[in-house]
Chains A and B, each alone.
Chain A
Amino acid sequence: MDLNLNNTLPLLIVLSAFIPGLLIFAIPDQREKLRTFLNLGGNLLCLSLIGVLLSGVYAGRVFETRLPLLPNMDLVLNADALSLLFVSLSGLLWLLTTIYAVGYFKGSTNLSRFFGFFSLCVSATAGIALAGNLITFLIFYELLTLTTYPLVVHKGNPASLRAGRVYLVYTMIGGALLLAGVAWLKSLAGALDFTATGILSSLPHLDPLHLQIIFVLLIVGLGVKAALVPLHGWLPIAMAAPAPVSALLHAVAVVKAGAFGIVRVVYDVYGIEFARDLGLTAGLAVLASITIVYGSIRALYQNDFKKRLAYSTVSQVSYIALGTAIAGPIATIGGIVHLVHQGLMKITMFFCAGSLAETLKIHKISEMNGVGRRMPLTMTAFTIAALGMIGLPPVAGFVSKWYIGTGALEVGAYWVLGVLAASSLLNAAYFLPVIYAAWFKPAQQEWPDKPADSRFEAHWMLLLPPVVTASLAMVVGLFANAGFTPLSWVKLISSREYGLTLVPFIPETLLSFPQLWLIILVPLLLASLFWIKPIRPSLGRFACWAAVPALLVGIWLPDTSVTLNWLFFSSVIALDGTTRVILLMSSILWFVAGVYGTDYLKRDKQFGRYGFFFLLCMTGNFGLILNQDVFGYITFFSLMSFAAYGLVIHTASAAALQAGKTYIQWVVIGEVVLFAALAGLAFTGTNPVSGLDNSLQPLWVSWLFVIGFGIKTGLLGLHFWLPRAHPVAPVPASALLSGLMVKAGLIGWWRFMPAGEVELPGIGATMIVLGLGAAFLAVLAGLVQRNPKTLLAYSTISQLGILTTGVGVAFRNPEAWPLLLPALTLYAVHHGIAKGALFLSVGLGNRLAKPGIAGALLWLAVIMPALALTGIPITSGALAKSALKSAVADIDWLILVLPLSAVATSCLMMRFLGLLKEHSAKSEQSAVGIPGILAFGSLSVFVVLLLPLLPQSVGFSEKLYSLPVLWTAIWPVTLGAALYWILRKPLARTTPVPAGDLIVIIETCNRFLFKQWRSFSHCLESRYNAWSDLTARSPIVRVERFASDAEINLRPQPGVVLIAIMLAVALTMVLY
């Protein structure tokens, strides 16, 4: 065999980790520098070799090391795309983990042993990645068990020894089963070299039953490492190991080895289609799904931080198996890419957990309160990773979930979406409290001082790795479609697997007007200034200016669109008629609210934080307005929703916290529903990345959209969070929430549902009914409120009900859409501005109570938007309403009903003014100074002026001032005012409906169910613990007892046994 790079490179990669490992063993413990040098040297060598390999494979060269092992059986190390993916991951994470471990173990003992085995472990992982046939895989797989065992027991205390024992018991049994499976398969099928389409499918005359049994053996063997339920018992216990080990075990080496093995077996040994025909993948998918859900549920109950992460791993790793088992090209992409994505995210989390434990001695979640302030970078990294785990865009986790979801739809496995949804919900349920506690709860104790030798919050070696991995997790999601990301590699793999072309060609229409991105980037960049300490407190002060570019662009820039292929799944942002109007309205409102906020919160200590979330919300808001593609939209949608959480709970009062909880719950549910809907849309659309064809979407997708966006819009029945969350925020934030952010749902409906294209009578009817119901019922609920902000929130529900009705009409009469769209746009803009102004007015406080011209003017400014909502002439309301009426003119009954809603609104507004008066009388001082008042005033002016300037109003504004129109506008207002006059006394006496109305009942039910579930799961948990103990320990004890008894009994009687043998001999002879 002549040696050249082609046939030695894979071996060299394995050796580049192996040899340093061996050398390190020989280094005395004290020679830290030398050891680190060796470690990093091996690391970098390994990485550069991988780099050579990557470029080589990219250039189409074949790398294969083949050493003879047995007759007809070689030891093969082969570099294909899949192995490269894994080997690059492990190489990279090895480097980071090494750096981390060096920092983590400063001043500890037995380090040569640790780092030696550490390197060997990576070497084994590289071997697993590069293994070219099943037996090579098996060899390295077992080697991995051996090399990780010393790492698990490294601490040497009873807990880690137990962990090691359990780990061994599990992995050894798994290894034995795997061995049996491989040996059996070998006797059937020969050399078992991995091939892209599977070995077995090409072989004739194999007994399917045998293959099925073998498959089960293999999967069980691999499933132990991949921690498939019920083979996962070792993993949480193995948390007794040091943090770098946990990181390595969970992110790269062990669980991934199992998952990778499953991928190999399904794709390259059985061949995916063959496996599906044998009915094997379905079982695997079910098993993986159970694991996903089960792991998440168990994670909920862990207080130990690392254990929670461990169960999260159990859950997350099974995505890989799930994606593999779904057996479609897209799901394959999702599964395999999750190999990398989960690695990046989970290793970040473990790094963070280790840093917390090492720097602050925090091991439990209950101890994490306020830790974000002490270690902001670490916790930011953690937050990014956790959000990614939940599946929030644009972090990597979303990409995998997205592909798995759409892939499942592709093959008709709709239930998988349910699993993904459940998992996301559960993920949120166990990660969000951690994030919340870290960032928002006050610290319980004094933290230990920062390390003296470091300028940072922790030793830089502990800080750098998580920051890098978190950034990577972010980057690979954000730029998913760029050529260098794992996703692109995996698409390549999948296309080879299925023989398809999965990388669609998208024309690059780049750089027509990149300025458009400025709108989004400016607030984002400003927000990132939050990390710079000196600027932080004043961040809120200049937050408002971030809205200016949007305003300018909205005014000056012509219609345009920008496509960036490398961003998201190829991002498209566009500015067109409707978008421009919404953008203008938004930017005005952001700016005004920003200015108002500068004034309103100027004495707030957390003003910086407020500014941060304000800017993030702004980014999200502008982003979702402009983004035309699915990924971008949902990214910014989530960004806005989650950032708004920070605004909702800003005051940190009990009510705010309660409201925040409700808010975030509904946000998460909404996200999950939207995920499912968008996945469905993406799959059914002709082109999953861009140019969505909404008209093709199946009915269930539309329904999910109604629900998903309905939550944001406060659709009746899904509105509960809204009256709670909006009032508790600081006044400017409330204005934004009610005026702007709820419109995101509306935009979603327009953009992703086939409005005006397809007739969806059922959906249309439902939306009309719910919309109208909201319009009236919300008024009723609002009337009895005492808090003006709550009242306004109900008013928002009511107004959005009318908008919903409008959308519903569009689904019943698609032909009305060309008229409806501008009308709805106008209405939305009108409502946004007016509602914003009204909310701001609540913050004026006792300034309203001041007599004189100033007070009168102020009151005028308050009454204007209130009247606008009722639709009185010369206000924007009149224009918007008449536009709406003319759009639905064909529907007689609606024309009758709309004025009635105006009556109700008028009544409500009267009540508001009344309340405001009371309110202002009671309040002792106002937080708002001149700038605030100016901002508020300007908004009131806009109420009158803005709408007629908009292009959409062309054709409506002319008709306004005819007498019948005036009449129709005025009589409901009068009627409403009269009604209020009659009802004002009883209303003042009525007990207010609690904010969020029906949610009280729901929450009571929830509490009850949760209690039940809790006791049930507690019971389950204790059972499980007993069981896992049984499997892990007591057989050994029993064996020990048995062995000692038996041996004592046997020893004196060898002769008797001998006699027995002789008798047997004699008898056998007699037989002859």
Chain B
Amino acid sequence: MMGPTVHLLPALIGIPLFAAISCLLINNRKITACFSLAAAALLLALVVNLLEPLRLNTTAGGLTYQLGGWGAPLGIDLFVDGLAMILLLVTAVLILILSIYSVFYFQSNEKAARFWPLWWLLVAGLNCAFTAADIFNIYVALELIGLASVALVALDGSRASQVAALRYALVGLLGSLLYLMGVALLYRTYGTLSVVEISSLSQADALSTAALLLITTGLALKTALVPLHFWLPPAHGGAPAPVSAILSALVVKASFYLLIRYWLEILAPAAAELTMQLLGILGATAIIWGCLAAFRARRLKILVAYSTVAQLGYLFLLFPLVAADNSAETYGTTAIAAAMYFLVAHALAKSAMFLAVGNILTAYGHDEIRRLQGIARQQPLSLFTFAIAGVSLIGLPPTGGFIAKWLLLNAAISNAQWWWVAVMLLGGLMAAVYIFKVLNLAFISTSLDQATGCAQVPLGMALPGLILAVLAVCLGFNAEWLIDLLSIGGTAETGTLK
């Protein structure tokens, strides 16, 4: 029934783990870099190869792989449907491009020896989280992601980044523990860890609700939903550029992805409409608050980090919109499609933006916005990247961000939830305000004496960001493939979906 490629599913985790081990063992920077690039390319090829079997398996709702051959309740399954596939794809693409960037970023830096193993372990964690079909396995994946992220944030070595990492670690551990408590309660209630089984058994009793709330709080903490976002800006702002990129683009999305799974699938009966609205309200707050804080930021990287806080808020609008959407049968429905599209667009744009900021930081040694006036002449490519990514974040056409916002708006309008429309539009406007605060730098006419103290940035660092930004734009030209992909799965095993 399944093609041979399906058997490569575990390689999604195996390749990164293998790469991590090899990178740790090989003591040569160049070989490590080449090896990493090869692994990233392999990973991408693998994911692309999995697209076709996934399309052929729409009836089964996705691809399932029973590790160890035991089958779900006893053993652990890997499961990939359209939703997971999108995230895997984004991960693979981003990892490849960010790896290229990192090769240059860590070119003359002894931290590379630690960076690559941690990097690949993080990738393993991400892929693990996206393919997990077992709630305890998700916990382990979360820890893998969380600790790897902390270690990567701490890579910088400055006191600020150490403090940020420590705070991030504490928050991550707290989130994991809240999640684990939820798992314990769920196991107590249903006697199984399998996602499929729980979602077929789940009901709206007190313990399930409690578990859902614990899990939600834990994951929201990891997703930096306002007001639990306080750890994010210093952590994302203090990390090396590729790390910031992956943190903002994927790591926070992993926990969001799990939130979707829990609310819409695993514990769908326990998900009350009221709490979904509450999540939406928090999301709306995040949009407004993130934008305000971003506008206020004096450092570019902090600005971008707050922008992540704001953009994550849009994702949470998914919940109230889905709650009201009675026709939702698959993940291909408007609200989820919109949120996922948003997620992808944001991942691309935000990582591009972080790379651009990383270049600026490399060039100038600082990222204080006020002192970056010569940027247009000295770092045109970085600014250009920033601009394109910014346009996508604002949600202006022709970018992926626009399509995402368009879909979200459509979802809100077709559910007659006007207030979210207002929030989204307002968010876009506010995003414009802080993005253009940076872009204005390009146009302020400067005297030449300010044009000093700028190091050269190699093309290998400038191009990946641009490629990502261009990808974010390209995403705005055809949304159909992504939505089609998303609609695979969901029907078979999420019969309980509202």
Contacts and interface: CB of A to CB of B under 8 A. Distances in A.
Interface in B391-439: 391, 394, 396-398, 402-403, 405-407, 409-410, 413-414, 421, 425-426, 428-429, 432-433, 436
A1046 B292 contact: yes
A142 B396 contact: yes
Interface stretch (A474-482, A795-803, A1019-1027, A1053-1061): A1053-1061
B88 interface: no
A1064 B209 CA distance: 13
B403 A70 contact: yes
A164 B478 CA distance: 31
Interface string B454-482: 00000000000000000000001111100
Given A176-B428, A1040-B296, A1069-B206, A186 B410 contact: yes
Contacts of A1072: 204, 206, 209
Contact of B436 (A69, A160, A168, A176): A168
Interface string A671-683: 0000000000000
Contacts of B476: 139
Contacts of A164: 440, 443
B217 interface: yes
Contacts of A175: 396
Contacts of A135: 406
B293 interface: yes
A115 to B, nearest CB: 15
B227 A1054 contact: yes
Contact of A1036 (B391, B397, B433, B443): B433
A161 B440 CA distance: 8
A1064 B410 contact: no
Interface in A129-182: 135, 138-140, 142-143, 145-146, 149-150, 153-157, 160-161, 164-165, 168, 172-173, 175-177, 179-180
A445 interface: no
- Which has the most chain A C-beta neighbours within 10 Å: B230, B403, B483? B230
Interface string A13-34: 0000000000001000000000
B479 A156 contact: no
A474 to B, nearest CB: 38
B213 A1068 contact: yes
A578 B212 CA distance: 99
B326 interface: no
A69 B479 contact: yes
A1040 B295 contact: yes
Contact of B295 (A25, A157, A1043): A1043
Contacts, number: 135
A139 B228 contact: no
A142 B402 contact: yes
B488 to A, nearest CB: 14
Task: Specify the main secondary structure of chain A where it touches its partner.
Answer: helix
Interface string B229-252: 011000000000000000000000
A67 B477 contact: yes
B163 interface: no
Contact of B443 (A67, A161, A183, A1050): A161
Contacts of B214: 1065
A135 B409 CA distance: 13
A212 to B, nearest CB: 16
Contacts of A1043: 292-293, 295-296
Interface string A100-141: 000000000000010000000000000000000001001110
B275 interface: yes
B109 interface: no
Given A142-B396, A161-B444, A183 B210 contact: no
Contact of B292 (A70, A146, A165, A1042): A1042
B445 interface: yes
B480 A138 contact: no
A1061 B228 CA distance: 9
Contacts of B210: 1069
A146 B391 contact: yes
A1039 interface: yes
A1068 B217 CA distance: 13
Contacts of A851: none
A187 B402 contact: no
A183 B406 contact: yes
A416 B274 CA distance: 54
A1047 interface: yes
Most buried by A among B231, B275, B292, B398: B398
B296 A179 contact: no
A70 B407 contact: yes
A75 B477 contact: yes
Contacts of A172: 394, 428-429, 432
A68 interface: yes
Contact of B227 (A153, A1042, A1057): A1057
Contacts of B384: 25
Nearest to B296: A1043
B397 A143 contact: yes
Contacts of A156: 443-445
Contacts of A1062: 217
- Chain B residues touching A, majority SS: helix
Indicate the size class of the contact surface on chain B: 35 or more
A1058 B178 CA distance: 13
Contact of B445 (A155, A183, A1039): A155
B363 to A, nearest CB: 19
Contact of A1065 (B213, B293, B398, B480): B213
A1039 B295 contact: yes
Nearest to B210: A1069
A187 B443 contact: no
B278 interface: yes
Interface string B210-223: 10011001000000
Nearest to A1055: B230
B388 to A, nearest CB: 10
Contacts of B425: 176-177, 179-180
A1051 interface: yes
A127 B323 CA distance: 38
Contacts of A1036: 433
A1060 to B, nearest CB: 8
B483 A71 contact: yes
A1058 B227 contact: yes
A1044 interface: yes
Nearest to A1051: B230
Contacts of B432: 168, 172
A146 B228 contact: no
A153 B480 CA distance: 37
Contacts of A177: 425
Which of B272, B274, B293 counts the most chain A CB atoms within 10 A? B293
B397 A138 contact: yes
B124 to A, nearest CB: 30
Contact of A1058 (B228, B410, B421, B483): B228
Contacts of B292: 1039, 1042-1043, 1046-1047
A1065 B231 CA distance: 21
Contacts of B272: 1068
Highest count of chain A CB atoms <10 Å: which of B391, B407, B440: B440
Nearest to B481: A68
A184 interface: yes
Contact of B296 (A67, A183, A1044): A1044
A1065 B478 CA distance: 41
B75 to A, nearest CB: 33
Contacts of A1060: 227
9 contacts: A69-B480, A70-B406, A71-B480, A149-B436, A153-B443, A156-B444, A183-B413, A1040-B296, A1072-B209
The 4 closest A-B pairs by CB, nearest first: A156-B445, A139-B397, A1054-B230, A1057-B227
Given A69-B478, A179-B409, A1058-B228, 15 more contacts: A69-B403, A69-B479, A140-B397, A146-B391, A155-B445, A161-B444, A172-B394, A179-B428, A183-B413, A1044-B296, A1050-B230, A1057-B227, A1062-B217, A1068-B213, A1069-B209
